[in-house]
Structure formats: C-alpha cells, structure tokens
C-alpha cells in the first residue's frame, strides 16, 4: 500500500522552528482529540489495531520511530523522523509502531473522541471485517 503523507509547513527562522497545525487545514479533518506517546521503553512495539471509522494523523515531534501500515494486502513501513512529516492513518488500516528512539514524542491527531468500540484489536478479526465491509 502507498502511505499518505501530510506535510507540515516549517515556519522556522534564525531563532528556531515553528509548525502550526490547524484543524481541517493542515490535517484533512476536524481535530476532536490529540494524544502523544512518549518515554517508550526500549524495544517496545505498540498499536496493533485498526479502527473502523477513526481517521488520524501521526507526527514525531521529537525523536523518531517507524509506523507500519497494513491495508490487509500489503504492509509499508514509514519512518517518522521529522516534525514536518505526518502520516495519515485511515480507517480500516492495521497499524503498529516500533523502533522508538528514547526521545521520541509521537503526536497523534484524531477526528473523534476515544471510543474503544471503534477498535479492532485482533488481526484475524481485522481480515474478516475487511471481507464483510
């Protein structure tokens, strides 16, 4: 599968960098929730789920990690290595994250509030859900 990247404009000058994220503009949806993953222990891989309806954009605002996306046909690994580079996590895409640097802060914007019933946390169930969709 081909990942959809979201480029955040870097508004840096000689004082340093600045990036603004605007709901519905720099991300293609209304932001209802943001969360961040940080202090990830060495060797941890996390995620391993898909969402039925939720759309998200993830960006490593510090450090780096890899975002693996899987649409049920093919897997792609996206290096999250720049505060200017976001990746879209569409509904129906199995994803997990790995290779976190100790300083990694992964910021995620989502188009809905947290809802556990929107998660598919079993890969077999995910494949079945894709078939029935």
Residue positions annotated with a catalytic role: 49
Whole-number minimum distance, CB 57 to ligand TYD, in Å? 14
For position 49 contacting ligand TYD by CB under 6 A, the verdict is yes
Q: Which helix (H) or strand (E) holds 77?
A: strand 75-80
Using the minimum distance from each CB to ligand TYD, give the nearer residue, 76 or 108. 108
Among 1, 17, 32, 114, binds ligand TYD (CB under 6 A): 114
Distance CA 3, CA 22 (A): 21
Using the minimum distance from each CB to ligand TYD, give the nearer residue, 17 or 44. 44
Using the minimum distance from each CB to ligand TYD, give the nearer residue, 46 or 127. 46
Q: Which two tokens stand for residue 39?
A: 């202090």
For position 35 contacting ligand TYD by CB under 6 A, the verdict is yes
E strands, 54-125, are: 56-62, 65-70, 75-80, 85-89, 94-98, 105-110, 119-120
**Residues linked to residue 26 through DSSP beta bridges, in sequence order:** none
Distance CA 90, CA 94 (A): 9
Applying CB under 6 A, which part among 3-11, 13-21, 22-30, 45-53 lies near ligand TYD?
Answer: 45-53
Q: Are 57 and 108 in contact (CB under 8 A)?
A: yes
For position 52 contacting ligand TYD by CB under 6 A, the verdict is no
Nearest of 104, 100, 76, 105 to residue 90 by alpha carbon: 76
Using the minimum distance from each CB to ligand TYD, give the nearer residue, 8 or 100. 100
Interface residue list for ligand TYD (CB under 6 A): 33, 35, 46-47, 49, 114
């Amino acid at each position: 599968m081909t990942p959809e990247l979201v480029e955040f404009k870097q508004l840096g000058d000689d004082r340093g960098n600045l990036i603004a994220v605007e709901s519905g503009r720099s991300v293609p949806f209304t932001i209802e929730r943001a969360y961040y993953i940080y202090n990830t222990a060495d060797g941890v891989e996390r995620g391993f789920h898909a969402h039925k309806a939720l759309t998200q954009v993830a960006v490593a605002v510090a450090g780096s990690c890899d975002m693996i996306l899987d649409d049920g046909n093919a897997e792609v690994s996206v290096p999250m290595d720049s505060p200017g580079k976001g990746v879209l996590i569409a509904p129906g895409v199995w994803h997990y994250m790995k290779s976190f640097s100790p300083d990694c802060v992964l910021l995620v914007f989502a188009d809905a509030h947290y809802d556990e019933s929107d998660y598919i946390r079993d890969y077999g169930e995910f494949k079945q859900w894709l078939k029935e969709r």
